[in-house]
Amino acid sequence: MKRVLKNCSVINEDLSIEKKDLYIDEGKFVDFVEAEVEENMNSMIVMPGLINTHTHAAMTLFRGVAEDVPLDRWLSDYIFPRESKLTEEDVYIGSLVGFMEMVKNGITTFVDMYFFPYAVAQAAEDVGIRGVVARGLADVDGHGKEKLKECEDFIHRYSSNPLIRGGVGPHALYTCSNGYFKESVEVARSNESLLTFHLLEGPSERADFRSRANVEAVDFLDSIGAFDEKTIVAHGTHLNDTELKLLSHKKVTISYNPTSNAKLGNGIAPISEAISNGVNITFGTDSAASNNSLNLFNEMKFGALIQRAYRELPTVMKVEELFKMATCNARKPLPFDVGKISAGMLADIVIINPNKLSMLPRKNLFSHLIYSFDTAAIEKVMVGGKWIYDGSFCNVDLGEVIERFEKTVNSIDSRI
Amino acid sequence: MKRVLKNCSVINEDLSIEKKDLYIDEGKFVDFVEAEVEENMNSMIVMPGLINTHTHAAMTLFRGVAEDVPLDRWLSDYIFPRESKLTEEDVYIGSLVGFMEMVKNGITTFVDMYFFPYAVAQAAEDVGIRGVVARGLADVDGHGKEKLKECEDFIHRYSSNPLIRGGVGPHALYTCSNGYFKESVEVARSNESLLTFHLLEGPSERADFRSRANVEAVDFLDSIGAFDEKTIVAHGTHLNDTELKLLSHKKVTISYNPTSNAKLGNGIAPISEAISNGVNITFGTDSAASNNSLNLFNEMKFGALIQRAYRELPTVMKVEELFKMATCNARKPLPFDVGKISAGMLADIVIINPNKLSMLPRKNLFSHLIYSFDTAAIEKVMVGGKWIYDGSFCNVDLGEVIERFEKTVNSIDSRI
Q: Which residues contact B131 (CB under 8 A, 6 or more apart)?
A: B109, B110, B111, B112, B124, B163, B164, B165
pLDDT at B247: 98
Give B69's contacts in chain A (Cβ within 8 Å): 314-315
Contact of A69 with chain B, judged by CB distance below 8 Å, is answered with: yes
In the predicted structure, residue A71 carries a pLDDT above the cut 90: no
> CA-to-CA distance for B112 and B109, rounded, in angstroms?
10
The residue-averaged pLDDT of B18-37 equals 97
In B, residues 72-131, which contact A (CB 8 Å cutoff)? 74, 97, 100-101, 104
Q: Which residues contact B414 (CB under 8 A, 6 or more apart)?
A: none
pLDDT per residue as tens digits for the range A170-194? 999 999 999 999 999 999 999 999 9
Cβ A314–B363 below 8 Å, yes or no? no
Asked if residue B400 is part of any domain, the answer here is no
Q: What is the mean pLDDT of chain A?
A: 96
Q: Which residues contact B367 (CB under 8 A, 6 or more apart)?
A: A63, A64, A67, A292, B319
Neighbours of B160 (CB within 10 A): 7
Same domain, A135 and A274: yes
Cβ A64–B374 below 8 Å, yes or no? no
Same domain, A149 and A41: no
Give A70's contacts in chain B (Cβ within 8 Å): 314-315
CATH number at residue A244: 3.20.20.140
> CA-to-CA distance for A3 and A32, rounded, in angstroms?
10
Same domain, B55 and B41: no
pLDDT at A403: 97
Asked if residue B399 is part of any domain, the answer here is no
Same domain, B249 and B270: yes
Same domain, A22 and A112: no
Which of B312, B355, B405 minimises the CB distance to A265?
A: B312
Query: Where does a domain end: A282, A309, A331?
Result: A331
Which 3 state secondary structure label does DSSP give A73? Answer: helix
Asked if residue A413 is part of any domain, the answer here is no
| Of the listed ranges A108-117, A297-306, B61-70, B328-337, the one predicted with least confidence | B61-70
In A, residues 126-145, which contact B (CB 8 Å cutoff)? none
Q: How confident is the model at residue B105 (pLDDT cuts 50, 70, 90)?
A: very high
In the predicted structure, residue A310 carries a pLDDT above the cut 90: no
Cβ A311–B265 below 8 Å, yes or no? yes
For chains A and B, CB pairs below 8 A equal 201
pLDDT at A311: 82
pLDDT at B415: 92
Asked if residue B71 is part of any domain, the answer here is yes
Which of A67, A305, A406 minimises the CB distance to B302?
A: A305
The residue-averaged pLDDT of A304-310 equals 91
Q: How confident is the model at residue B191 (pLDDT cuts 50, 70, 90)?
A: very high
> CA-to-CA distance for A358 and A376, rounded, in angstroms?
9
Same domain, A134 and A170: yes
Evaluate if pTM is beyond 0.90. Answer: yes
DSSP A239-263: --HHHHHHHHHTTPEEEE-HHHHHH
Q: What is the 3-state secondary structure (H, E, C) of B82-122?
A: HHCCCCHHHHHHHHHHHHHHHHHCCEEEEEEEECCHHHHHH
Helices (H), strands (E): how many in chain A?
15, 16
Contact assessment for residue A406 and residue B354, using Cβ atoms and an 8 Å cutoff:
no
pLDDT at A137: 98
pLDDT at B259: 97
Query: Where does a domain end: B300, B331, B362?
Result: B331
> CA-to-CA distance for A305 and B291, rounded, in angstroms?
10
Asked if residue A374 is part of any domain, the answer here is yes
Same domain, A231 and A209: yes
Same domain, A87 and A77: yes
Q: How confident is the model at residue B72 (pLDDT cuts 50, 70, 90)?
A: confident
Same domain, B34 and B146: no
CATH number at residue A11: 2.30.40.10
Same domain, A34 and A61: no
Q: How confident is the model at residue A233 (pLDDT cuts 50, 70, 90)?
A: very high
Contact assessment for residue B411 and residue B54, using Cβ atoms and an 8 Å cutoff:
no
Asked if residue B86 is part of any domain, the answer here is yes
| Residue B69 belongs to domain spanning | 50-331
Number of structural domains found in chain B:
2
Asked if residue A336 is part of any domain, the answer here is no
Q: Which residues contact B126 (CB under 8 A, 6 or more apart)?
A: B96, B395, B396
Give A262's contacts in chain B (Cβ within 8 Å): 305-306, 308-309
Neighbours of A249 (CB within 10 A): 13
Give A101's contacts in chain B (Cβ within 8 Å): 357-358
| Of the listed ranges A72-86, A401-415, B48-62, B187-201, the one predicted with least confidence | A72-86
Give A305's contacts in chain B (Cβ within 8 Å): 259, 262-263, 302, 306
Percent of chain A with pLDDT over 90: 94
Closest-CA residue of A relative to B65 is A364
Same domain, B211 and B245: yes
Q: Where are the beta strands (DSSP E) in A81-163?
A: 107-114, 130-137
Contact of A198 with chain B, judged by CB distance below 8 Å, is answered with: no
pLDDT per residue as tens digits for the range B131-177? 999 999 999 988 999 999 999 999 999 999 999 999 999 999 999 99
Give B259's contacts in chain A (Cβ within 8 Å): 305
Q: Where are the beta strands (DSSP E) in A164-229?
A: 164-170, 194-199
Closest-CA residue of B relative to A264 is B314
Rg of chain B taking only CA atoms, in angstroms: 21
> CA-to-CA distance for B222 and B217, rounded, in angstroms?
9
Asked if residue B398 is part of any domain, the answer here is no
Query: Where does a domain end: A285, A307, A331?
Result: A331
Q: What is the mean pLDDT of chain B?
A: 96
The residue-averaged pLDDT of B196-202 equals 97
Q: How far is B319 from chain A (nearest CA, A)?
A: 7
Neighbours of A229 (CB within 10 A): 11
Same domain, B204 and B351: no
Q: How far is B192 from chain A (nearest CA, A)?
A: 35
